[in-house]
Amino acid sequence: MPSVSVPLKGAPGWDALMKQRREFWHKDKNMQLSPHFKASEFCTHDGSWPPIKARAAMVKLCKEFLEPMRAKFGGSCLILSGYRHELYNAQIHGARNSQHIYDNSYESVAADTRYPKGTPAAWGSYARGLRGQRTPKGSGGVGVYPKAGFVHIDNRLYQANWSG
């Protein structure tokens, strides 16, 4: 859990927080997380920027999962949903303790992704295989959503599998 309270969107302090985050992500090389992924791809659909403290976990997610997935399944990756602030997550009926709410856990982050080649089942299978290369071994969450056409991948410190 974060050591500071994060205001809900629209509450006092939210605009100042977003300004601080926006300035951080646009400074120096902070935006580039890996060779093919930028922090801007993880923004909430309403334009809210991810927490600064989540950068290390975002870099790790890109390195351990998203870059290999991108290379295997067609050379590109669409991040459908990355960071979600609490209010947005509630509006879309996301899980209460979702890994997408980076404000709740800076050490682990999530991305719902889609690739040009393969199927959600194949993407999920490959992502589960990538977990064996992580520390702790086998950790991370993989959710397969065949009807919606995406796979959820996160770098939590324990193993979780599901389908939706």
Structure tokens at 22: 């926006």
Q: What local confidence, expressed as pLDDT, does residue 60 receive?
A: 97
Q: What local confidence, expressed as pLDDT, does residue 5 receive?
A: 77
Cβ-contact 142, 47 below 8 angstroms: no
In a domain, 149, yes or no: yes
In a domain, 9, yes or no: no
Q: What local confidence, expressed as pLDDT, does residue 4 receive?
A: 55
Q: What local confidence, expressed as pLDDT, does residue 8 receive?
A: 87
In a domain, 41, yes or no: yes
In a domain, 62, yes or no: yes
How many other C-beta atoms lie within 10 A of the C-beta of residue 102? Answer: 27
Cβ-contact 21, 52 below 8 angstroms: yes
Q: Please report, for the domain that includes residue 28, its CATH number.
A: 3.30.1380.10
Q: What is the DSSP string of 16-58?
A: HHHHHHHHHHTSTTSSEEETTEEGGGGS-TT-PPPPGGGHHHH
Q: What is the DSSP string of 129-149?
A: HHGGGSSSTT-EEEEEETTTT
End-to-end CA distance of the chain, in Å? 27
Q: What local confidence, expressed as pLDDT, does residue 136 receive?
A: 87
In a domain, 139, yes or no: yes
- The whole-number mean pLDDT for each consecutive block of 10 residues of the chain, a chain of 164 residues, reads 71 95 97 98 97 97 98 96 96 95 94 98 98 91 98 97 96
In a domain, 8, yes or no: no
CA–CA separation, 19 vs 17, rounded Å? 5
Domain range for residue 24?
A: 14-163
In a domain, 100, yes or no: yes
Handedness of CA 81, 159, 32, 56 (dihedral sign): positive
The closest alpha carbon to 107, from 30, 32, 35, 1, belongs to: 1
In a domain, 1, yes or no: no
Domain count for the chain: 1
Q: What local confidence, expressed as pLDDT, does residue 2 receive?
A: 43
Q: What local confidence, expressed as pLDDT, does residue 67 receive?
A: 98
